[in-house]
Amino acid sequence: MRVMAIGAHPDDIEILAAGTLACYRLDGHAVAICVMTNGELGAESGDRAAVAELRRQEAQRSAEIIGATLYWLGEPDGFLFDTTPTRMALLAAVRDFAPDILLTHDPADYHPDHRTASLIALNVRQLASAELIETAEPVLNSAPPVLYMDPLALTGTAAETWVDISATIETKREMLRCHQSQNAWMRRMHELDYVDYVDKQAALRGLQCGVAFAEGFRDARVFPVTANTTALLPN
């Protein structure tokens, strides 16, 4: 299978689905991480372009840990909108990778960019197989199913399915540690340790399904209906 995870910021996928992506890789599947914005607001001061470049490098190092393809769309952090150019940029990335399944943010997530990324991913998923939308990349044969990742802090919605990531939690931590700029910033802003925070979230999901660590997902329920979408997840 080919699995594509679409997140708003350079560390979202690591926080919410890196353990699952690492499981897919262990099973021999191809994985892509698509980051929609530059994440250039993720610092207290300094030049935004420099922050964006640092974050792109951190995301690249993280993706390399599991051999994932990184797509970097470069939209402005905090101001992600479903415009024609943005939709076309994601459409090109989705067609280029040709995923069998898409993972993205929950539409009820707390962050505006997360909610917008979720919306654009859902919209593009439908349009990627429309033959009259011309791109350099080939049209998809069918629209891939979509699974929503947990919202951050697990607020708002309940997972419908759980992936046991006990075997890949250390890989997830390693990927998170690549985002050094964010761990330092989170410590100052929220007095929280990045890895500890994510461990707690994964441990709670694990508690719910009887394993040490897990990540939660729910089906976006799109047309055409895909039977048992959650069976496309690892385990």
Q: What is the CA radius of gyration of the chain?
A: 17
Instruction: Output the smallest distance, CB 233 to Zn ion, in A.
Output: 22
List contacts with Zn ion (CB under 5 A). 8-9, 12
Instruction: Output the smallest distance, CB 9 to Zn ion, in A.
Output: 3
Q: Cα torsion for 194, 42, 11, 226, to the nearest 10°?
A: 120
Instruction: Output the smallest distance, CB 112 to Zn ion, in A.
Output: 10
User: Considering beta carbons, is residue 9 or 205 the nearer one to Zn ion?
Assistant: 9
Tokens in use for 58? 């951190």
Instruction: Output the smallest distance, CB 157 to Zn ion, in A.
Output: 16
Tokens in use for 228? 């048992």
Spatial distance between the Cα atoms of 36 and 34, rounded to a whole number of angstroms: 6
Residue 7, CA atoms < 13 Å, CB-side half-sphere: 22
Instruction: Output the smallest distance, CB 148 to Zn ion, in A.
Output: 14
User: Considering beta carbons, is residue 12 or 40 the nearer one to Zn ion?
Assistant: 12
User: Considering beta carbons, is residue 15 or 101 the nearer one to Zn ion?
Assistant: 15
Which amino acid is residue 78, in one-letter code? G
Answer whether 148's CB lies under 8 Å from 12's CB: no
The residue whose Cβ lies closest to Zn ion is 9
User: Considering beta carbons, is residue 142 or 180 the nearer one to Zn ion?
Assistant: 180
User: Considering beta carbons, is residue 189 or 207 the nearer one to Zn ion?
Assistant: 189
Spatial distance between the Cα atoms of 120 and 34, rounded to a whole number of angstroms: 12
Total count of residues recorded for the chain: 235
